[in-house]
């Protein structure tokens, strides 16, 4: 392949979501939230001989809700398989997972098709202790079985993503959807949402996929983007050097940007899957489906469509408010308290000015700016009672101390200077002070009108409306 060949990236994601059930997937142990190690265990999740699993109905319920939210085809009957492999975090020597009869098949979220969603149990947590650690041995791994047996939904996408940013963005959309469902904490740092990325490259225009590698367990959105980029760069260098990408499972170290091989990729037959003989098939009844359907909240994509339809918001704004649900809630509260406000400017003020002041990670309902106060401020801008610049100053005050925008405008003398009566003389003075500019304007060249606007803004301390000033300039010059 020549050096000028352009490559396209192909990505499919496998996402593990810890389900927020009361008990574990196959036993009565409660889920663990930082309890002392090995205090949430029983013979079942420790894999002791003779202990028998029972499938958690609440996990099946959550799995059905996820499938419905993703538009999957839900199974009538679903069965569990044993996935056999040896590792210290897996006391039975196998993981109970699903194989050829998963709970949900197919589906779609945004532009990405879903391959399947199945249920399984989480492994225990390995804690690696080095020479300076608590153990005296020079190096050791100790096992905390509290996490072992936690219910997981594994969501597998089709290879529909084409770059690292799109992958991270899509994962955010999935996270918001799962959060709206209330089935998981979906916290990447804490491990309740974990993502493996399957990555390949192919020459642009080629239909067949290239050989993929799998980047394991990235635990933040930033690392996912960086990891995928690093892996694409690695594969591109291999192919451009005349080599071939090996199918393997890889680890990305975000500190060093190094990618290392964990193992050559295993095939399904390596796991010797067979049906779990200790569990009966799960029959999905109409009652179960009805219950899952009734539990579905309004999902972010549906909310985005509704915001567009009901309020005439742009697609971009509607999407942002729907997928940052705290902004959407704030918008709807502000709108409900002030029917006169224009929805699109309100959305813009929330998404831009308010978020810029309180920070992207703060829920605006926890700020000092009451939704009604922002709605009022935005309507005052609409009614030209205050200019955009003046309103931004008012918002600074609201963010710092709260309060009523009209009172702040009054107290700070931020009311707009408008109309021919008050602005006219200032525009006249501006033209008189800039005869060369006035000359150009008269000649039909409107470019230097900014000089006049600037002069008026300075005189009015930013309380004039630029458009109004331009209109008065035209009027006074008879243009």
Which of 23, 72, 97, 200 is in the footprint of ligand ADP by CB under 6 A? 200
Cβ pair 209, 10 in contact under 8 A: yes
- Beta carbon nearer to Zn ion, 145 or 323: 145
Q: How far is CA 257 from the centre of its chain?
A: 23
Phi, psi (degrees; rounded to nearest 5) at 251: -120, 135
d(CA 285, CA 291): 10
Q: Which residues pair with 343 in a beta bridge?
A: none
d(CA 29, CA 139): 31
Three-class SS state of 471:
helix
What are the structure tokens assigned to 317, written together?
């704004």
DSSP annotation of 149: T
Judged by CB under 6 A, does residue 235 bind ligand ADP?
A: no
User: Which of 221, 159, 157 has its CA nearest to residue 194?
Assistant: 221
CA distance from start to end of the chain: 64
User: Which of 403, 381, 353 has its CA nearest to residue 463?
Assistant: 381
Q: How far is the CB of 279 from ligand ADP (least distance, A)?
A: 23
**Residue 27, contacted partner among ligand ADP, Zn ion, none, CB below 5-8 A by kind:** Zn ion
Cβ pair 158, 13 in contact under 8 A: no
Q: Which stretch binds ligand ADP (CB under 6 A): 96-104, 133-141, 206-214, 449-457?
A: 206-214
What are the structure tokens assigned to 428, written together?
């006249």
Judged by CB under 6 A, does residue 10 bind ligand ADP?
A: yes
The CB-nearest residue to ligand ADP is 12
Q: Which residues pair with 104 in a beta bridge?
A: 74, 117
**Residue 45, contacted partner among Zn ion, ligand ADP, none, CB below 5-8 A by kind:** Zn ion
Q: Which stretch binds ligand ADP (CB under 6 A): 11-19, 276-284, 424-432, 451-459?
A: 11-19
d(CA 45, CA 28): 9
Which of 150, 192, 198, 393 is in the footprint of ligand ADP by CB under 6 A? 198
Which of 157, 184, 338, 379 is in the footprint of ligand ADP by CB under 6 A? 157
| Residues 60 to 119 in contact with ligand ADP, rule: CB under 6 A | 115
Judged by CB under 6 A, does residue 14 bind ligand ADP?
A: yes
| Residues 376 to 435 in contact with ligand ADP, rule: CB under 6 A | none
Which of 11, 45, 153, 378 is in the footprint of Zn ion by CB under 5 A? 45
- Beta carbon nearer to ligand ADP, 209 or 274: 209
Q: Which stretch binds Zn ion (CB under 5 A): 3-11, 45-53, 311-319, 422-430?
A: 45-53
Cβ pair 97, 120 in contact under 8 A: yes
d(CA 469, CA 456): 8
Judged by CB under 6 A, does residue 472 bind ligand ADP?
A: no
- Beta carbon nearer to ligand ADP, 121 or 214: 214
Which of 8, 38, 42, 454 is in the footprint of Zn ion by CB under 5 A? 42
- Beta carbon nearer to ligand ADP, 210 or 418: 210
Under the rule (CB under 5 A), what is the footprint of Zn ion?
27, 29, 42, 44-45
């Amino acid at each position: 392949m020549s050096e000028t060949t352009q490559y396209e990236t192909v990505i499919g994601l496998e996402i593990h979501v810890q389900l927020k059930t009361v008990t574990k997937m196959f036993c009565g142990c409660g889920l663990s939230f930082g309890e002392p190690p090995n205090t949430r265990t029983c013979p079942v999740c420790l894999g002791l001989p003779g202990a028998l699993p029972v499938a958690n109905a609440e996990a099946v319920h959550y799995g059905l809700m996820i499938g419905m939210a993703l538009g999957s085809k839900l199974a009538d009957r679903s069965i569990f398989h044993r996935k056999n492999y040896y590792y210290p975090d897996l006391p039975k020597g196998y993981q109970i997972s699903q194989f050829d009869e998963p709970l949900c098949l197919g589906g779609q979220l945004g532009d990405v098709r879903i391959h399947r969603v199945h249920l399984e149990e989480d492994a225990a947590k390995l804690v690696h202790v080095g020479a300076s650690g608590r153990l005296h041995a020079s190096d050791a791994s100790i096992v905390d079985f509290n996490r072992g047996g936690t219910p997981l939904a594994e969501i597998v996408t089709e290879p529909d993503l084409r770059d690292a940013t799109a992958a991270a963005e899509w994962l955010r959309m999935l996270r918001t959807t799962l959060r709206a469902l209330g089935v998981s904490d979906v916290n990447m740092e804490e491990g309740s949402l974990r993502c493996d990325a399957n990555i390949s490259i192919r020459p642009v225009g080629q239909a067949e996929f290239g050989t993929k590698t799998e980047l394991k367990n990235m635990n933040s959105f930033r690392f996912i983007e960086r990891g995928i980029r690093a892996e694409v760069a690695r594969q591109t260098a291999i192919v451009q050097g005349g080599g071939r990408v090996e199918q393997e499972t890889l680890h990305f170290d975000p500190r060093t940007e190094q990618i290392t091989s964990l193992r050559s990729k295993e095939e399904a037959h390596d796991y010797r899957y067979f049906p779990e003989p200790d569990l009966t098939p799960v029959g999905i009844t109409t009652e179960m489906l009805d219950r899952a359907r009734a539990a579905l909240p309004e999902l972010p994509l549906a909310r985005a469509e509704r915001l567009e339809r009901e309020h005439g918001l742009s697609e971009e704004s509607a999407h942002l408010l729907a997928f940052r649900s705290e902004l959407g809630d704030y918008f709807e509260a502000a709108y409900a308290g002030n029917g006169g406000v224009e929805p699109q400017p309100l959305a813009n003020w929330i998404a831009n000015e308010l978020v810029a002041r309180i920070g992207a990670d703060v829920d605006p309902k926890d700020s000092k700016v009451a939704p009604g106060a922002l709605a009022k401020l935005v309507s005052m801008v609409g009614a030209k009672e205050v200019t955009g610049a003046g309103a931004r100053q008012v918002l600074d005050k609201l963010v710092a101390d709260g309060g009523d925008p009209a009172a702040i405008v009054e107290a700070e003398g931020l009311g707009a200077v408008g109309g021919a009566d008050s602005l006219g003389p200032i525009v006249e003075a501006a033209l008189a002070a800039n005869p060369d500019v006035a000359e150009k304007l008269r000649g039909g060249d409107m470019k230097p009108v900014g000089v006049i606007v600037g002069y008026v803004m300075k005189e009015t301390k930013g309380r004039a409306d630029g458009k109004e000033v331009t209109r008065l300039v035209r009027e006074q010059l008879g243009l």
